[in-house]
């Protein structure tokens, strides 16, 4: 240890640091060799699971759609039940449509994950659900000797495919955040500790409420400009170099012909569906009512996406708000 003549308190501090570094080393090593269960191989989850496999993780996979077994044969070991995923995994990641699905998979029935997971297993839910459900599920997990983090994502299908997602993590403590991060880092580039369990969902529904509002605003703006005769590319370039600039304009512009990679250039196919945006707005409005927060623009956005979904835009990307508005009289 070098100079053995150091003062006792300095030696104690040095040994403490060495032990801390050792614990972190073994924790990282354990994560690198852990088996990761992944339940939910949809537009987002499939890419996320594939990135785990690309980074040399042993992945155990399941989806309600058995046809995906062939599609993801190169990703990992397919299991026909979530119970078998739980039995064979040290970490379990879920990426499901709604809170009801999360509860069904994790906690309801004899085949649920909670009934079969290894003691001390880390459960990471990357679905977008309401904060109350995340906290309820976490409490159930802890009573059974399991760990739970909520870790919803931002970055869309492109971010999932590229492994550049942002994860908003709600964790019981910093140690469990670090444990979750050791797996999440292979699927995203920005892993944010949002505080206690459920706070990841708080961050996510706030972000998506703002995204809906901004997308409708950009759609209205582009539609107005086009109807008044300005070239849409010129208008977009002005917006993107002015105070109206935002992600919905400079990266995901809803007007066709502006951003080559945006869903607007493929008839709004793929991407983040309007029905999913409506679901997330519903979560935000429910949370707003519970907390007595005023969200007038969020409420109006929910109404607009509700009308869009009833008019045939449910499976179109949420940027189809532009097409909906441009066709409205």
Whole-structure pTM value:
0.84
- For range 272-276, the mean pLDDT: 93
pLDDT at residue 34 in the model: 81
Catalytic residue among 54, 87, 118, 204: 204
Q: Where are the alpha helices (DSSP H) in the chain?
A: 8-32, 45-54, 68-71, 82-87, 99-107, 113-116, 131-143, 156-162, 174-184, 199-227, 232-239, 247-250, 274-291, 296-308, 321-327
| Residue 75: pLDDT over 60 | yes
List, for residues 220-252, the tens digit of each pLDDT value: 999 999 999 999 999 999 999 999 999 999 999
Provide the CB-side half-sphere exposure for 135 (13 A, CA): 10
Tally of CB atoms within 10 A around 167:
28
287, β-bridge pairs: none
Alpha-carbon 223 to chain mean position: 30
Give catalytic status of residue 292 as yes or no.
no
Tokens of 173: 């403590």
Give the per-residue pLDDT at 25.
34
Residue 33 is predicted with a pLDDT of 65
**What is the gyration radius of the CA atoms in the chain, in angstroms?**
23
Q: What is the pLDDT of residue 15?
A: 41
Mean pLDDT of all residues belonging to the chain: 91
- Indicate the pLDDT class of residue 279, thresholds 50, 70 and 90: very high
Residue 291 CB partners (closer than 8 Å, separation 6+): none
pLDDT of residue 271: 84
pLDDT over 90 (residue 202): yes
Predicted local distance difference test score (pLDDT) of residue 1: 41
Q: Quick one: pLDDT band at residue 32, thresholds 50, 70, 90?
A: low
DSSP category for residue 268 = T
Residues 224 and 239 sit within 8 Å (Cβ to Cβ):
no
- Predicted local confidence at residue 156, as pLDDT: 85
Q: Is the pLDDT of residue 154 over 70?
A: yes
Whether the per-residue pLDDT at 14 is higher than 80: the answer is no
User: Quick count: other Cβ atoms within 10 Å of Cβ 107?
Assistant: 16
């Amino acid at each position: 240890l070098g100079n053995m003549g150091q003062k006792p308190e300095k030696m104690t501090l040095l040994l403490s640091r060495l032990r801390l570094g050792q614990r972190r080393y073994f924790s990282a090593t354990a994560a690198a060799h852990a088996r990761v269960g992944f339940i939910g191989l949809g537009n987002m989850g499939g890419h996320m699971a594939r990135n785990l496999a690309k980074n040399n993780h042993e992945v155990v996979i399941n989806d309600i759609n058995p046809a995906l077994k062939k599609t993801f044969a190169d990703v990992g070991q397919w299991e026909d039940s979530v119970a078998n995923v739980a039995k064979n995994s040290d970490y379990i990641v879920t990426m499901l449509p709604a809170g009801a699905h999360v509860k069904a998979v994790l906690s309801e029935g004899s085949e649920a994950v909670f009934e079969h997971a290894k003691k001390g297993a880390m459960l990471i839910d990357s679905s977008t659900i309401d904060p109350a459900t995340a906290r309820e599920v976490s409490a159930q997990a802890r009573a059974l000797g399991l760990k739970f983090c909520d870790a919803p994502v931002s970055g869309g299908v492109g971010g999932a495919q590229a492994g550049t997602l942002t994860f908003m993590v709600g964790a019981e403590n910093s140690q469990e955040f670090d444990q979750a991060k050791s797996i999440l880092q292979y699927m995203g580039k920005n892993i944010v500790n949002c505080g206690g369990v459920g706070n990841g969902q708080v961050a996510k529904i706030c972000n998506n409420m703002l995204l809906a509002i901004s997308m409708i605003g950009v759609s209205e703006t582009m539609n107005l400009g086009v109807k008044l005769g300005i070239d849409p590319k010129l208008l977009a370039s002005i917006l993107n170099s002015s105070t109206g600039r935002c992600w919905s304009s400079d990266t995901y512009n809803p007007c066709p012909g502006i951003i080559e990679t945006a869903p607007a250039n493929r008839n709004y196919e793929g991407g983040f569906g309007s029905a999913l945006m409506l679901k997330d707005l519903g979560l935000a409005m429910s949370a707003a009512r519970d907390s007595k927060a005023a969200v007038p623009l969020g409420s109006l956005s929910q109404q607009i996406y509700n009308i869009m979904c009833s008019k045939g835009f449910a499976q179109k990307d949420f940027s189809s708000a532009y097409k909906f508005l441009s066709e409205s009289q």
